[in-house]
Structure 1
């Protein structure tokens, strides 16, 4: 067993029915102390995977280890170390933040003082007698996370927590996730389809598509992959004449420009020389922004 992993799955597969398979051999490796972004479009298998990790769905095929223990053998002990928010948070709209937490507190067996602590952590300590129905969506989401924090978990699992949040709410959520990781030492798994936002808060990434893992690694490994797939946009006075000059770079016509694969500054210089020496005017030589969304498109296109 690997004790450096908070979560390790091997060959995790799941069928919702005989003819509908949702997961295909998922191998997750979530390191202790990391913020792990679990990325994929809606319907890709994120919630199914997280539900299996929490024992909310019957285990079918594959192995799940959490904190070095097999989930099926030590489920109760493992779940005591986990806080989770899966899909829509269950809150009582007629109650205050403190009253909502008091409803859940006995289930976790924690002291009443813990309520004040978690409200401070999520920034809701000053809501007083304001009922939850008057909360913004971002405040409701932070209160739902407060519920998950009641048992002071070592592992926090958040499923699409930024859904529906405005930009301010997303920024607050991002900072909260970072604080929980850095100041409270929690390992955090956060699933999302908002790729650019997740990249700003995570240390590790897993990308899932149609129930299959396409990528898993650190941010530097992801950035290296992005650099490998980088492209350069070129416009000349005669793009038709320029195409054969760029044949070794895999040119593709993109609107009124040409896109070529480019992995170094030396490539850029060589391309510019080739165009200029052919007596063509060079109007544009611009690296294409290869953000996480573009990488996701590249990966999913290759997997389709």
Structure 2
């Protein structure tokens, strides 16, 4: 694993008796896109607000760039860009004028305004009033504002919320570009598995305030199981025979189920059943989808 950019130890936030974030141990590797995934109300935004110093943890520690946030808040946050919920802007001003206000506050040269406008592909619309921007353009302007100070860490909370498919694609391409071309570590939260799957290299899944999974996206995909289902005339007798021969088999809805077996093993099982005069009606491969895996990890069956 790369150097860790963000690390939390037992991060917890309680509101009265309600535990919004419960002993969360995040590890965000440097130069990666970390997808922070969970159903609405799982604790994502509360965690992000704590990472940005907007609210204080009830207990636990936060380290960013290897330094404790509580003791180095200002120097750390100077190296962090963020977009939490909807971007704020002056609607009557142009995109360029909005960024110019921010550049003046941060004492940055006008050259940087041009750079971020080009980065988020808003140069052609830079002179238009922001009130006339589409939702996708407003989100890109918000990301431009987050990038203007050349951050090393970019934190985006649900950046594709409310966008049409074209706007979602724009933001997705922009996020993927950040680590590759500029070396920026990105932490992006979403309740949409499909969005995280397309951009993230690492993923953390939070549910009811608890981190239930954290690893690379490839490791999450490996959890998607491939089962072979075999329908026979006497499933109980058939399973007993195969178990005696050393096969790992279970019965689901009167159908034999075999976890992660090869084509050759499937053929051997079918041959064995036929030799023992069982009638084999059907052989079906069943692969658990990534969404099934997510729903299993979060203990929900709700649609995402």
TM over 0.5, shorter chain: yes
Equivalent residue for 2:58? Answer: 60
Gaps of 5+ in 2: 241-247
Q: Quote the residue 2:20 is aligned against.
A: 22
Match of 1:37 in 2: 35
Q: Does 1:84 align with 2:82?
A: yes
The yes-or-no answer on 1:231 pairing with 2:230 is no
Q: Deviations over 1:78-134 (max 9, x none)?
A: 000000011111122222211221222223221111111001001111114322222
C-alpha distance in 1 between matches for 2:5 and 2:31:
8
Distance change (3 Å), C-alpha of 1:146 and 1:217: same
CA distance in 1, matches of 2:256, 2:12: 39
For 1:133-152, list aligned pairs within 5 A. Answer: 133-152=131-150
Mapping of 1:136-285 within 5 angstroms?
136-226=134-224, 229-234=225-230, 236=231, 238=233, 241-242=234-235, 245-246=238-239, 248-253=248-253, 258=255, 260-265=257-262, 267-273=265-271, 276-277=274-275, 278-285=277-284
CA distance in 1 between counterparts of 2:260 and 2:214 reads 22
**Structure 1 unaligned runs (5+)?**
none
Offset of residue 24 of structure 1:
1.1
Paired residues of 1:276 and 1:282 also in contact (CA < 8 A): no
Cα 1:83–1:249 change in 2 (3 A) is same
CA–CA distance in structure 1, aligned partners of residues 169 and 145 of structure 2: 20
Distance 2:193 2:237 in 1: 36
Q: How many residue pairs get matched?
A: 291
Is the CA contact 1:3–1:67 (under 8 Å) kept in the aligned structure 2? no
Alpha carbons of 1:258 and 1:198: their partners in 2 closer, same or farther (altered >3 Å)? farther
> TM-score, normalized by length of structure 1?
0.87
TM-score, with structure 2 as normaliser: 0.87
Q: What is the CA RMSD across the aligned residues, in angstroms?
A: 2.3
In structure 2, how many angstroms separate the alpha carbons of the residues matched to 1:39 and 1:45? Answer: 10
CA contact 1:40–1:192 (8 Å) conserved in 2: yes
Q: Is the 8 A contact 2:2 2:29 kept in 1?
A: no
